[in-house]
A and B are shown apart, each in its own frame.
Chain A
């Protein structure tokens, strides 16, 4: 079955960077985009960006321009999300999710990874 497995929880100090991995299995990795979405405690889902795993095409949310980098390792069927210059308000659970359709992202997210908690605190 299609599955996304994310890396473990992280604790970071303000100003540091965090890099989270999302390993895909159960489908042809390079046919779909992977999205990153975060959820601060008690807050809404917030879309961060996507990368098409085949073409490498990337789109970032304006809210994260300049701080967010999404990369991939096609041999390992893994997508990475790196967020730098962390602030306490970046404390959240970070999810990866596959775009339902192959090709151009349709923003239909299925399935989702299990989530990676990130705590930013001095």
Chain B
């Protein structure tokens, strides 16, 4: 089955911009979705369908796509953005849903 690859950890200074990437074969065909997971909580959808945000998600969250890579950008990172971020997508293999390994974002 396919896999999605993310950086294990990324850090950003408060108020600065940070980008987290997600790479995989499935992203040639399907858009990635992005989820924020704070410690001890369930994941929350922050980006879907290339660059759409669910209601209530701040507009400092955005995404872009190129080839096999999806990138999540947080413009003006806030302390509350410190969390784990996961990407996922549909897939055409026997396992139709795939997740990335997650990126731990630290806001300094």
Q: Which residues of A contact B94 (CB under 8 A)?
A: 62
Q: Is the interface of B mostly helix, strand, loop or mixed?
A: strand
- Residue tally, chain B, CB below 8 Å to A: 25
**Known A45-B88, A107-B90: A114·B45 in contact at CB below 8 Å:** no
Q: Is the interface of A mostly helix, strand, loop or mixed?
A: strand
- Please give the distance in Å from A95's CB to the nearest CB on chain B: 6
Whether, in the assembled complex, A35 has its beta carbon less than 8 Å from a beta carbon of chain B, the answer is: yes
Among the stretches B15-23, B58-66, B72-80, B97-105, the one at the interface with A is B97-105
**Known A44-B101, A45-B86, A47-B88: A109·B95 in contact at CB below 8 Å:** no
**Which residues of A are interface residues toward B (Cβ below 8 A)?**
35, 37, 44-47, 50, 59, 61-63, 95, 97, 100, 105-115
